[in-house]
Amino acid sequence: MSSSRDLTRRDFMRRSASGVAGLGLLLDGEPVPLEAAPVMPRPASPADRVGVGFIGFGIRGNILLEAAKKTGQADLIAVSDCYQGHLGRAKERTDGKIETNFAQFRKMLERKDVDAVVIATPDHWHLSMVLEALSAGKDVYIEKPMTKDVEDGPKMIEAAKRYSRIVQVGSQWISMEQHKKAKEIVASGKLGKVTKITAAYNRNSSTGAWNYPIPPDLENGVNFNWEEWLGPASPRPYNPELVFRYRKYWDFSGGISTDLFVHLINSIHFIMGATMPKSVVATGGILFRHDGREVPDTLDALFEYPEGFHVNMASTFNSASTAGQGIQLLGTDAALTLLLGQGDMILAGESHREGYGYSIDGWPKALQDQWWEMDDHREESKRTAPEAETLKTSDPMDATALHMLEFFESVRSRKPCTENAEVGHHAAAAGHMVNISYRSGKTAVWDAEGGAVKT
């Protein structure tokens, strides 16, 4: 992509715009209906493609590679992983073309044809991989949560600035048209003042609770490199449970809060134009899944934002009930519900009906009659809410492909991504506040000056 670094943003936008016109656009060989078409540009010419390396090719790495293919903007150069089975799968997905690298990601960083890396390793590796990639001159797509610990954030932000590199953090929902529309609706004032937001993400299966299968051929020292997987974490004996189910253990993950809440938090920050909560109180526990996990299977958190709204966020792995799932923005004039994984939203206006009949029933009849005739009382007690509206969007385009598309555009234009290192740091830090409160039993308070959390 060497020559494309010099492209102006205008050039790129012109080219993108020309690529989306009309029907007949093919994505992954499938004709795309017109209403779903406006988002993916024409595939870039070979000279303009971003050379990409993938570090970590487990569950998410596979999805990211397919999304990168969908954008048509990237050359898939190399992939690094600690498990040969995952590297074999990368070959299968690329007709054998991608170069595979067994547990030596630094070798990939030396390659001149790799412009950008996509990091989808467990959280305990995020800080050092991002810093090494940035210092090697690579732009970085780093999966959420950006950080394993709050203090990692400022280091990544500083490195992105020092090396003038693009960073996109991987909470892909904000690239959906649904989220952009929700942001516009809030800004338009249509919801009135949003004072409360509820958000939930529930599951009820063993795999949903992160007991992912361990491949039967896994053999440390043969097709797997435990030391490299462990990396910056403190040494301990080989344990495949940690490798495939790391989200259950504090040394490698923040559990529900940094795996799932971070998506909801990032969406709320984006839609509400908010940066960080002032304080968080959380409670939770291991209420059902007594399988050796350290992190809770049920978690509830209350966030207070300086912009004057509160968030009530919840998750359980012990019921897949959809009650309250998604994000509900509760405004004084209307509520907007974002359904997760779908493009639709439901807009429900408030009636503002006054319950006078109920509240004056204990008055003498004559006084009630007199009161009904005063001001607009009769009218106010009859108001009805407008019928709830389903707002359709051109989603479901693949949110991950859209998020990666923005990254590849930024790599070429040098315009910062929407979910840059600051944004990713704040979403993760709010998630860490949940865990700090849960684990300490105290309120976690954000120290905006120091960029730290106090209890």
Ligand X SMILES: NC(=O)c1ccc[n+]([C@@H]2O[C@H](COP(=O)([O-])OP(=O)(O)OC[C@H]3O[C@@H](n4cnc5c(N)ncnc54)[C@H](O)[C@@H]3O)[C@@H](O)[C@H]2O)c1
Nearer Cβ to ligand X (243/347): 243
Name the token pair of 262.
């971070």
C-beta of 125 vs 408, nearer to ligand X? 125
In the complex, minimum distance from the CB of residue 338 to ligand X, in angstroms, rounded to a whole number: 16
CB of 253 to ligand X, least distance (A): 8
- The verdict on 58 binding ligand X (CB under 6 A) reads yes
List, in sequence order, the alpha helices (H) in 118-252. 126-135, 152-162, 177-188, 226-230, 240-244
Q: Is there a contact between 333 and 384 (Cβ–Cβ < 8 Å)?
A: no
Minimum distance of ligand X from residue 404's CB (angstroms): 11
Let me know: does 332 contact 192? Beta carbons within 8 Å.
yes
Interface size with ligand X, residues (CB under 6 A)? 27
- Of the two residues 194 and 327, which places its CB atom closer to ligand X in the complex? 327
Cβ-based nearer residue to ligand X, 167 or 191 = 167
Preceding omega of 122 cis (within 30 degrees of 0): no
- Taking the complex as a whole, the smallest distance from the CB of residue 22 to ligand X amounts, in Å, to 32
Alpha carbons 139 and 421: distance in angstroms, whole number: 12
152 binds ligand X (CB under 6 A): no
Most distant CA atoms of the chain, gap in Å? 91
Stretch 207-246 residues interacting with ligand X (CB under 6 A): 228-229, 231
Q: How far is the CB of 75 from ligand X (least distance, A)?
A: 20
Question: Which residues are registered as beta bridge partners of 452?
Answer: 447
Shortest Cβ 62–ligand X spacing (Å): 8
Nearer to ligand X, 29 or 213 (CB): 213
| Residues numbered 23-52 forming contacts with ligand X, rule: CB under 6 A | none
The answer to whether 65 and 86 are in contact (CB under 8 A) is no
Position among 67, 70, 73, 83 found at the interface with ligand X (CB under 6 A): 83
| Cα angle value 200/201/202 (rounded, 5°) | 115
DSSP result, 224-291: B-HHHHHTTSPP----HHHHHSGGGSTTT--THIIIIIHHHHHHHHHHHT----SEEEEEEE-SS--S
* C-alpha gyration radius of the chain: 25
Q: Strand, coil or helix: what is 391?
A: strand
- Helices 262-272 and 177-188 pack at an angle, to 10 degrees, of 40
Site for ligand X in 293-352 (CB under 6 A): none
Q: Answer positive or negative: Cα dihedral of 264, 270, 275, 278.
A: negative
Contacts of 387 (CB under 8 A, 6+ apart): none
Sign, Cα dihedral of 234, 239, 244, 249: negative
Q: Which is nearer to ligand X, 120 or 182 (CB)?
A: 120
* Of the candidates 155, 63, 172, 165, the residue with the CA atom closest to the CA atom of residue 114: 165
Residue 390 Cβ, how far from ligand X at the closest point, in Å? 25
Per-residue CA distances from 336 to 18, 315, 328, 391 (Å)? 34, 20, 6, 10
Minimum CB distance to ligand X, residue 68 (Å): 14
Q: Verify binding: residue 105, ligand X, rule CB under 6 A.
A: yes
Here's the x/- map for ligand X, 350-389, by CB under 6 A: it reads as: ----------------------------------------
User: Quick check: 419 binds ligand X (CB under 6 A)?
Assistant: no
Q: Which of 41, 51, 61, 343 touches ligand X by CB under 6 A? A: 61
Q: How far is the CB of 399 from ligand X (least distance, A)?
A: 8
Q: In the complex, which residue's CB is closest to ligand X?
A: 58
Residues 122-141, interacting with ligand X (CB under 6 A): 122-123, 125
Binding of ligand X at residue 259 (CB under 6 A)?
Answer: yes
Per CB under 6 A, 86 contacts ligand X: yes
CB of 147 to ligand X, least distance (A): 10
Among 70, 144, 179, 181, indicate the residue that binds ligand X (CB under 6 A): 144
Q: Does 57 bind ligand X (CB under 6 A)?
A: yes
Binding mask 165-184 for ligand X (x = CB under 6 A): -----x-x------------
List of residues contacting ligand X (CB under 6 A): 55-61, 80-83, 86, 103, 105, 120-123, 125, 143-144, 170, 172, 228-229, 231, 259
